[in-house]
Structure 1
Amino acid sequence: MEYGFWLNLFLIAAGLTVGFISERWDIIPFTLIVIGVVLTIAWLLWQSKRTNLWARRSAQSSTNAILATTAVVVILSLINFLGARYSIRQDLTENQLFTLAPQSKELVRSLKSPVKVWIFDITQNAREKELLVNYQRQSSKFKFEYVDTQAKPSLVKKFGVDNNVRAFLESGKRQVKIVDFNEPLTEIKLTNCLQKLISTDVLTIYFLKGHSEDILDSIDSNMSKAVEALAEMNLIAKPLTFTNKSLVPDDAAVVIVGGDSQDLFPNEIKLLQAYLKRGGNLLLMFNPRTAQNLDPLLSEWGVSIDPRLVVDISGSAILGPAVSLVNNYGQHPITKNFGNKTSFYQFARPINTKTVEGVQSNPFLLTKPYPHSWAESDLNSEILRFNEKTDRKGPLALGIALKRKIVGKTDNSGYEASYSNTLSPVLPITSHVHATNTKSTNRESRLVVIGNSNFASNSWFQKALNGDVFLNSVTWLSQRDFQPLSIRPKEAKNRRINLSPAQASLLTIFSLVILPLIGIIGAVPVWWQRR
């Protein structure tokens, strides 16, 4: 019985060893630990009764020391456990370089099946590994593994790895290439590939052509960056012309009209109206030269385009008064998580709305209040000054999102469908392909109107949140409500300071000569007083 204490400690140590090594705290390690603890308590009670241990002062002091030490160990263990389970990290970098963007977090947290990143590179880049760990923190379904191509030729054969591809994303039987060997693994690329992997449907986005637009004319078109970004989201962009066509194509998830310098033909407007009546989704982007003759369509939704231009003097020193700086985004899924960050709109026009039964409208782009912005009617004046009689005070709506329930039957022309006069919540859509035969419909039609078209052009698309506004508008219109709408991840900004030789010499002299000399001069009076 005297050596039973060591047996008890052995049982406890064995249980802990089995649990930590196997990483499974099941019945075996639990039983060993419980038996060891129970026998240890029994041994202590037996020893105290046999030797009258607790009557001794030394035993009491030793017991207090043991209890205090045990309490410290338990507290430290709990702190470590809570720190490992509920870690708190604070990113103090300017652009939140070590924090995932909201879209990345929502995508990973919404995973329904396991996803794994395979990196065929034994050199584990610290920055890339930290990025992958951040993704893994969001969901237990996200895993990653570095692979030595020499040690695991079976994986090399499975993925068809060659000298070009370095990383793959896998989910079930689907695989997506992430980056080549000469490319870094960034959040933008990983999030876009993850979104493409979990999206089972490829939607078609049509851009209306035939009115002197700068859209989809070539790979170097005015909106090529926007088209490339759509492709990364499994949204295929195609041109749309109504020549020899009787209606909008059945596979059109969204139709975009923007950048036109000529009015649409009356027949084209009727076809767009029919498209909306059969549950279509339309994005209208206006430039300052024309209203595109869309008043009949817009009036059905209670929308009109103000002929005046928006003047914003808050950023005139840098961009000029013709560029509107927007950081008020209302309450809408398109702009959720935007916070107070900025998007830019050059030569924008205000949008007016009125109440129409059955139409639910939400402004999501609002300019600054007067006197920072207003709608200017006199553009020939050399001095911009608000005119109480002809101008309109801000805040002004530059973007409106509208939806309307569709109830009825539709055929190829779509003219039999009708709008419902009752508002409804967002309805999930299982298919974005419109029916070609007569069928009953019970869905929504969505419309987004933005009083500017060049915000999504190549020169503005990557500035601040401009690209996010365009992509989120298209995503919301496509009724992909199962997909997160938020800010796309951003690349790190280059903050390096480039000094000329003269500036570098001046900095060296200032730091090695002038500053030490100032310290010496300041120390002389102190030394003189204490002398």
Structure 2
Amino acid sequence: MNIGKQIHQLIFPLLSLALLLLLAWFSNRYQWQWDWTRNGSHTLSETSIALLQRLKGPLQVTIFTPRASTLQQQVERFIERYQRFKPDLQLTFVDPIRNPDASRRQGISLSGELVLHYQGREERLQRLSELHFSNALQRLSQQQHHWIAALTGHGERDLHGKANHDLGAFGQSLQQKGYQLVALPPATVPPDNTALLLIASPTTALLEGELALIETYLQQGGNLLLLTDPSSRESLQPLLQQLDIEALPGTLVDANVRRLGIDNPTVALVSEYPEFPATAGFDLLTLFPESLALQADQARDWQVTGLLRTLPQSWNETGPIHGEVERNPELGEQAGPLTIGLALTRQRGEREQRVVVIGDGDFLSNSYLANAGNLDLGLALVGWLAGAEQLIGIPPRPILDRELQLSPLTKGIIGLGALFGLPLLLFGIGGLLGWRRNRA
């Protein structure tokens, strides 16, 4: 009898241990998660799930952040939501402190920046949200190659060049995003499949025939990115006149740069951007060395938007820039904020024609591209101009009221229950167990 009772007492803990081991094995092999939040705040939207199902092949996500940081844990939890629907999504962490060379090669400027690689294309993110991440996946999944024709033969900045003033690093970033870069020789008509014509700070004047070809291209609804600066003011004057844009005299100077430890007053700062599709959600500081201030009135059938405006304490300096420089209103030097970037739009049939004119080409050059948000701004502008800004619509999660409203009576009952009821319940259970044990 005693042996049977001992065996009976031994079986229960053994079965309990076996059950725990079985549950541990199942939890390690299979994962189940439920989102019990009222608005599904921890669940991917159906749009994101459908996008993941369309992606064929592995997706690599690399985040540059120190190891064992809070951000690392947040990213892991965030990426897990995507890995449930795409198991071949691989997440890699790179510590920029322990591995600065890798960060430097990737041009990482912000801790926590994500780099996404898919089928030879690349996207970068500095914000972690379903909207931004899924939109990056949407851009990576685009199979269409947008052609960018870059005018050559007039001393323009080269999209493949390695000189400091060239745009080689920017051109490489464009290619990583799937753009097809094409050199456009002088007096050549842009190809029919050109999504964007780039004219990057030519140092010699364009011939009348070339200006006529560009005018025809614009009349036919072509999109244009025009980069000008003080050195190309004269050579681009006829083209600016075609667009009814005037470049103010002199070079823009900005006294605010001293706060950032920059001694060169010709570097202009831009920190705020309008509510405009090309700069939607963009809030990074950008730097523009040796810029022209631009102004344009609403003319012809163009809709003009000021994209880039400098800070106060800036002006267009018409004199030599050395030593202490002060604004002289009598010489036509206007006080900032001044516009250094304009967007022009108009309807051409069923599509919108887009033109961006920026009074600086250095901000995308090899020397300055990695500064602040210059690269991100350049990519955003090109994406909008080339019509490659397709974004998926993910409705924001409604923020529900999470505050629990209790009446005074309910609060009193809960308080008394915790103070007296719970201890009495525990004493009662203990007494009952002791009484049953004594009877046995």
TM-score by length of 1: 0.53
Match of 1:249 in 2: 191
* Kept in 1: contact 2:250–2:292 (CA 8 A): yes
* Kept in 1: contact 2:83–2:89 (CA 8 A): no
Distance 2:120 2:291 in 1: 40
Match of 1:306 in 2: 248
Residues 255, 293 of structure 1: CA spacing in aligned structure 2 closer, same or farther, 3 A cutoff?
same
Per-residue deviation at 1:393?
Answer: 0.8
**Residue 396 of structure 1 pairs with residue 338 of structure 2:** yes
* Kept in 1: contact 2:225–2:355 (CA 8 A): yes
The total of aligned residue pairs comes to 323
Per-residue deviation at 1:292?
Answer: 4.8
* Kept in 2: contact 1:331–1:362 (CA 8 A): no
Alignment of structure 1 residues 498-517 onto 2, 5 Å: none
* Kept in 1: contact 2:347–2:353 (CA 8 A): yes
Deviations 1:447-486 (A, max 9, x none): 100000010011211211101121111111112342479x
Deviations 1:319-340 (A, max 9, x none): 221100110212212222223x
Residues 229, 477 of structure 1: CA spacing in aligned structure 2 closer, same or farther, 3 A cutoff?
same
Deviations 1:256-284 (A, max 9, x none): 11132212222111111111111101101
Residues 119, 368 of structure 1: CA spacing in aligned structure 2 closer, same or farther, 3 A cutoff?
closer
**Residue 480 of structure 1 pairs with residue 388 of structure 2:** yes
Residues 210, 119 of structure 1: CA spacing in aligned structure 2 closer, same or farther, 3 A cutoff?
closer
Deviations 1:366-390 (A, max 9, x none): 1012xx2111111256431111212
Distance 1:83 1:108 in 2: 19
Per-residue deviation at 1:85?
Answer: 4.4
Match of 2:200 in 1: 258
Match of 1:86 in 2: 41
Per-residue deviation at 1:191?
Answer: 8.4
Specify every segment of 5 or more residues in structure 1 that has no aligned partner in the other structure, as ranges: 1-16, 26-77, 89-104, 148-168, 180-184, 408-441, 486-531
Moved more, 283-292 or 456-465: 283-292
* Kept in 2: contact 1:136–1:142 (CA 8 A): no
Per-residue deviation at 1:218?
Answer: 4.1
Match of 2:271 in 1: 327
Distance 2:321 2:140 in 1: 52
Match of 2:157 in 1: 214
Per-residue deviation at 1:302?
Answer: 2.6
Deviations 1:487-531 (A, max 9, x none): xxxxxxxxxxxxxxxxxxxxxxxxxxxxxxxxxxxxxxxxxxxxx
Match of 1:273 in 2: 215
Tell me the secondary structure at the aligned position of residue 275 of structure 1: helix
Distance 1:204 1:452 in 2: 23
* Kept in 2: contact 1:254–1:283 (CA 8 A): yes
2:175 to 218, 228, 231: 231
Distance 1:338 1:292 in 2: 32
Match of 1:518 in 2: none
Distance 1:403 1:326 in 2: 22
Tell me the secondary structure at the aligned position of residue 81 of structure 1: coil
Distance 2:370 2:255 in 1: 23
Match of 1:405 in 2: 347
Match of 1:111 in 2: 51
Per-residue deviation at 1:215?
Answer: 0.6
Q: RMSD in angstroms over aligned alpha carbons?
A: 4.3
Specify every segment of 5 or more residues in structure 2 that has no aligned partner in the other structure, as ranges: 1-22, 61-66, 91-115, 127-132, 394-440
* Kept in 2: contact 1:310–1:349 (CA 8 A): yes
Deviations 1:146-169 (A, max 9, x none): 89xxxxxxxxxxxxxxxxxxxxx9
Match of 1:349 in 2: 292
Tell me the secondary structure at the aligned position of residue 231 of structure 2: coil
Distance 1:291 1:478 in 2: 25
Distance 1:119 1:446 in 2: 33
Alignment of structure 1 residues 167-246 onto 2, 5 Å: 176=119, 194=137, 197-216=140-159, 218=161, 222-243=166-187, 245=188
Distance 1:202 1:146 in 2: 24
